[in-house]
Every structure is written in C-alpha cells, then in structure tokens.
Amino acid sequence: MTTANSYGQAPAVSTPEGTVVDATGASAARPDASWPVLGLRLSRRVLRRLVLVLPPLAVLAAAVLAADWAEERSRERSDAGARERLTLYRETILRELEKYRYLPYIVARDPRAVGVLSDPAQTDAANRFLKDLAATTGADALYVMDRNGLTVAASNFDTANSFMGRNYAFRPYFQAALDGEEGRFFAVGATTGEPGFFFARSTPSGVRPRGVVVVKVDMDRLERNWLEGGETVIVTDVHGVVFLGTRDDWRYASIAPLDDMVVAAIRSDRQYGGERLQSLQEGPAHATDLEIGGTAYRQARLRVGLLDWSIHYFTPLAEVRAPRRTVWAAAFALILVYAVALLFLRSRRLGRVTAGLRQDAASLRDLNRRLVDEVDERRRVERELRETQADLARASRLAAVGQMSAAVAHELNQPLAALGMFVSGARLYHQRGEAAEVLENLDEIDALRLRMASLTQELKRFARPGESRIETVDLRDCLKTSAKLVRPRVEETGVALHLHLTSADLLATTAPLRVEQVLVNLIRNAIDACQGEAEPRVEARAWSEGGSAMIEVADNGAGIPEELRERIFEPFFTTKPAAAGLGLGLAISARIVEDLGGGLSVRGGRSGGACFVLSLPLARQ
C-alpha cells in the first residue's frame, strides 16, 4: 500500500536556443561575448570603453600636430614681421644720419667757420656761426679742431660742457678725417657723457689739412621715436655692444661675451666712457633663440651697413608660442565638452534605468501583494479542506460504525438464533430423559459461545491492537511459526504451501507475535483465494533488500482487480460471504505493520494471483 515517491535531482535539459537550463529554470551563467581586436579577444565592456576614449585620444594626437604646425606658422609670421620692422628701423637710422653726413663737408668749406684755424681773432664769429648752424640743422654740436685735435671753435662754446679748448685727438674719427677719409664714429661724449654719432671732415680737404670739422648727432630723438612703438629693438656695433635701442638696461652690454682685446680697444677709444661692457647672455650672438634676463626671445638681425652695425629685433618667445597654447586650450576645451556630453548622456541613461528600476520595484510590490493575497486564499482553502476532511472522517467513522454494527448484528444474530434452537432442543431432550442428546446440544451451545467470543475478540483487537513484546528476532523464524499455525487449514483445504527462505540472518527488532499475526492473516487469505484452483499453491519468500527485510506471500488465485487494490486495506471491506470474513484482517495487518515502522503493499503475482509484500526495517548491526 505504500507508494514510492522519488525526489531526484532536477535533470538538466536543453532548450531549442541551446541555453542550458536546469529544471528549476535557473540558466547557467552566459559567457561574456567577446570580439577579436589585434589578435586579442576583448569583451564587449572593454571594447565599449575603448571606443569611448578614442575621440579624446584622436583630439590629443591632432592637438600635438596642430600645436607644432601653429607654432611653426607663428615663427614664420614673427620672423617675417621682424624682418619688415628691421628694414624700417634701418631706414630711420640711415635717414637720420644721412641728414648730417654732409654737414661737416659743407662747413669745412665755409671761411666763417674754418677761418679761425688761421686767425684766432675770428673765434667768436666762428663760434656764433657754428651755434646758429647747429640750431638750424638740429645737430647736437658742431665744432672745429686744429690739426692737433684741439677744439678751436664750437657751437656749444657758451655752455657748461663747452668743447672749447678740449682735445679729441684720441677719437678714431679725427685720425680718419686727417687721413682724408670721412670720419664716422659712435661714442659716449667724453665731455658731456651723452652718446652721439660723429661725422668728421678735414679742412681743407687735400694733402695738408689744417684742421677737422665735426658734427655730433644726438640719437636720443631716434630712440624716443622707437620707444613709442613698444618693441624691443637695439643696435650693436661691430663687436656686438648695444649702444642704441629701446632697452636702457641693455645699453653698453654685449650680446655675447667679449674678447679681452676687444674690451681693451674700446676702453682706449673711450668709446663708451667707463661702462662695464658685461654680456647679456652666454650663448653665441647670432643665435635665433636666446634668453636674456630670464626671458626667452626670438632674435632677428639686419646689418645697417654703417660702421658694421647690426640692428636686432627681439620677440618674446612666449608670444611666438602663444598659438601652441591656444591649440592646447582648444583641444582641452573640446575634450571637456566631450566629457560633459558623455556624463550628460550617462546620467540620462542612469535616469532611464532608475525609472525602469522604480517601475520594476512597483511591479514587484504589486506581485508581492498578489502573492500575499494568494497565500491567504490558499490558507483559507486549506482550512476549509481540513474542515471538510474532518467532516468526512466523522462521516466515515459513523459509516464504519454503521457498517460494523450491521456486520456484528449479522454475525451475532445467527449464533443467537442457533443458540435459541439448541436451548429449546436441550429442554425437550431433558423432559424425555435423553441425557446424551442434552449433552450434545450443550456442546453445540458451547461451540457457538466460542465463535461469538472469537468475534468479539477480533473486534477488540481492531479497536486497540494492544501491546506486544519487542525483541530482536529472525524473521525467517516468524514465517516458519506462521506456517505451522495455518497447517490445519492447509491440510483441510489441500493447498500447497511453500517457503523460500534466504540462507542469511534476517534479524529485525520488532514485535514477533504481531508479525506472525500479520503473516497468518496473509497466508490464510492466500489459501482462501486459491482454494478453488486446480493446483492451489501459496508461496512465501523471505530476503533482505537494502536496509529492509522483505516477506512476500503470493498465491495462484484469481488475484485482486486493480481498482480494488487500495480498498482491500479499508476496514470491513470484504468480498467473502458474511460468515467467512469480517473484512478486518488486512486493515488490522496494515495498521500493525505501520506501527512497526514497515510497509504492506499488494501487486499482481507471477502466477496470476495476488502477491502481498511486507517490509520491515532490519535490526542495526
């Protein structure tokens, strides 16, 4: 009657999509899809990140190239601009000097100026003439020296720094003029301390000059004009010494370190007075990129063609490099915009995901609420079911009581009727004095009493099977004892009873008397079932299987129809005539076996009849 329920592990099955899922519905972790890139297998996530950093990388690469290009273009532009400016500055220098270049030449021929060389009495007149002329032409000073270098007439004769009586024979322009050449020189005035350009001519021009006429041109005006431009432009002499320009702090310093001999020569000419002639920087003078006073400059140079002067134009390198910074700033701005756009998109996506999650949470809450409702509903149904079951049980108990009462009444009525008959018969025999017949009737009455007693006994057993001694026994012995107990019935009916016992022990800790009661009941039923057969036969087997002792009782009777197999274990179910059975045997047997921790079931036997199988737990070793 036991039904085996097998709970195995849920088998894995394949879906048509090829995904492996187990029967619980959980799908195995899906491998992350990946793509081959440059021989590497990259996952979709890594690829997506790579794609995201590509645009900034491209911008950076482009910025490197563009910055170089922009700086190069800026250098070209700055160089071209510098060249233009230099040409302009050179023109202004030459124009300024050109204005005065021929002044000494003209003055040298004018007796109002040079007459003083032969007649000192003309000094005053010469001085005044020179003063007027200087004022008219804008020359800084105009003066006449005798052939020894002594100044004999000067336009500044009436000033504190008058050149009168001073000797300038040491000046190179004086010697050059005496030699019949054009004397040209730039120097810091030995008397005034003010820088100026000197043009000198001998007078008269020829092999024996009597003196030299000189004009000193003030370059201040030029410088003042240049300063207004706000540019860094300077003029250097043949040695690279700065003597003119927009940078006062660089004046009389050299672009590159000077040779000692050069320094000595400059000092002997007193060209720059007592200036220190330090160097502005340590690198070569012609370098295009150089650093002066902590500022990097780009330098452009142009020869002035006058006394080997050079004019220099300086552009701060920071200005030249500005476009590079602009390019980088633009690149970073672009990357920033990109990053902000990405963040914006991401936050929007996150917003969408959050909204989705919120929706999911809402539907989960809804689902949960429905589940709770369903559980409540199930509990209610279960309660109702239990109540219905209880009602049914009550009803079936009542039905059973009714059935049993009918069966008991039927069982007892017959012997009671017989008893009445035997009692009246005994009375009659007693009146007739037939003592032997009276005794015979009394025997019959006693037999009926015994039958009624056994019936009540059996009913009592069903109601309360009672205790039985528990001990460890060999179940093969129980089976043998049971066979002995039914021997009278076997002999009476002529049914063949065979026992097949395992050779090994079949020990169980159980109630042997109860087990025998069950076995006797099974064998008796089997005998009843096959009685009418041509070769009635009952087979009883005993063996061990797993942790259980198994005993089987099979017959070759008609068997039990499938639909009755469950019902035969119900109390009072019987197919036998009322006198032959109460239908309590199997019900009692099943209850006993259950109490002993075993099971009792029925199936079709090999020889066509029924086969009852009893299982009991084997004793622990």
Task: Name the residues that contact ligand ADP, by CB under 6 A.
Answer: 521, 525-526, 529, 555, 557, 560, 568, 573-576, 581-587, 609-610
Give bridge partners of residue 200 from the DSSP assignment. Answer: 183, 214
CA dist., res. 320 & res. 308, Å (int): 29
Name the residue among 562, 604, 602 with its Cα closest to residue 586: 602
Q: CB 558 → ligand ADP: shortest distance, Å?
A: 6
Residue closer to ligand ADP, measured from CB, 325 or 410: 410
Q: CB 555 → ligand ADP: shortest distance, Å?
A: 5
Residues in the chain: 621
| DSSP type of residue 184 | E
Q: CB 527 → ligand ADP: shortest distance, Å?
A: 8
Residue 392, token pair as written in the block = 């049914």
Asked, as a colleague might, if the bond just before 257 is cis with ω within 30 of 0, I would say no
Residue closer to ligand ADP, measured from CB, 330 or 558: 558
Residue closer to ligand ADP, measured from CB, 512 or 585: 585
Residue closer to ligand ADP, measured from CB, 156 or 589: 589
Alpha-carbon separation of residue 104 from 133, 182, 202, 254 (angstroms): 11, 9, 8, 31
Residue closer to ligand ADP, measured from CB, 10 or 401: 401
Where b means 16+ CB within 10 Å and e means fewer, 142-157 reads bbbbbbebebbbbbbb
Q: CB 469 → ligand ADP: shortest distance, Å?
A: 25
Alpha-carbon separation of residue 519 from 194, 359, 523, 559, 561 (angstroms): 149, 68, 6, 18, 22
Residue closer to ligand ADP, measured from CB, 152 or 551: 551
Alpha-carbon Rg for the chain, nearest whole angstrom, is: 71
Report the residue number whose CB is nearest to ligand ADP: 581
Residue closer to ligand ADP, measured from CB, 144 or 568: 568
Q: How many CB atoms lie within 10 A of CB 408?
A: 15
Residue holding tokens 């200036």?
A: 275
Residue closer to ligand ADP, measured from CB, 300 or 611: 611
Residue closer to ligand ADP, measured from CB, 209 or 585: 585
Q: CB 1 → ligand ADP: shortest distance, Å?
A: 12
DSSP element (H, E) containing 435: helix 435-463
Q: CB 24 → ligand ADP: shortest distance, Å?
A: 43
CA dist., res. 125 & res. 162, Å (int): 16
Residue closer to ligand ADP, measured from CB, 104 or 581: 581
Name the residue among 288, 292, 389, 365 with its Cα closest to residue 381: 389
Three-state secondary structure readout of 284-318: CCCCCEEEECCEEEEEEEEECCCCCCEEEEEEEHH
CA dist., res. 538 & res. 497, Å (int): 5
Q: CB 397 → ligand ADP: shortest distance, Å?
A: 18
Q: CB 545 → ligand ADP: shortest distance, Å?
A: 22
- Three-state secondary structure call for residue 218: coil
Q: CB 447 → ligand ADP: shortest distance, Å?
A: 20
Q: CB 561 → ligand ADP: shortest distance, Å?
A: 9
| DSSP type of residue 83 | H
CA dist., res. 32 & res. 43, Å (int): 7
The vertex-68 CA angle with 67 and 73, nearest 5°, equals 95
Residue closer to ligand ADP, measured from CB, 263 or 455: 455
Residue closer to ligand ADP, measured from CB, 142 or 523: 523
Residue 591, token pair as written in the block = 């209850």
Where b means 16+ CB within 10 Å and e means fewer, 12-22 reads eeeeeeeeeee
Q: CB 513 → ligand ADP: shortest distance, Å?
A: 18
Q: CB 572 → ligand ADP: shortest distance, Å?
A: 8
Q: CB 613 → ligand ADP: shortest distance, Å?
A: 12
- Three-state secondary structure call for residue 73: helix
CA dist., res. 218 & res. 195, Å (int): 7
Residue holding tokens 């709770």?
A: 372
* Phi, psi torsion values for 553, nearest 5 degrees: -125, 115
Dihedral of the alpha carbons of 588, 592, 594, 600, in degrees to the nearest 10:
-60
Q: CB 4 → ligand ADP: shortest distance, Å?
A: 22
Sequential DSSP letters for 115-136? GGGT-GGGHHHHHHHHHHHHHH
Let me know: does 270 contact 281? Beta carbons within 8 Å.
no
Q: How many CB atoms lie within 10 A of CB 582?
A: 22
Residue closer to ligand ADP, measured from CB, 195 or 557: 557
Spatial CB neighbours of 458, under 8 Å, sequence gap ≥ 6: 582, 584
Q: CB 600 → ligand ADP: shortest distance, Å?
A: 11
Residue closer to ligand ADP, measured from CB, 235 or 542: 542
Q: CB 499 → ligand ADP: shortest distance, Å?
A: 17
Residue closer to ligand ADP, measured from CB, 268 or 396: 396
Residue 306, token pair as written in the block = 């006058």
Residue closer to ligand ADP, measured from CB, 224 or 576: 576
Let me know: does 143 contact 163? Beta carbons within 8 Å.
yes
Residue 435, token pair as written in the block = 């003592």
Let me know: does 142 contact 107? Beta carbons within 8 Å.
yes
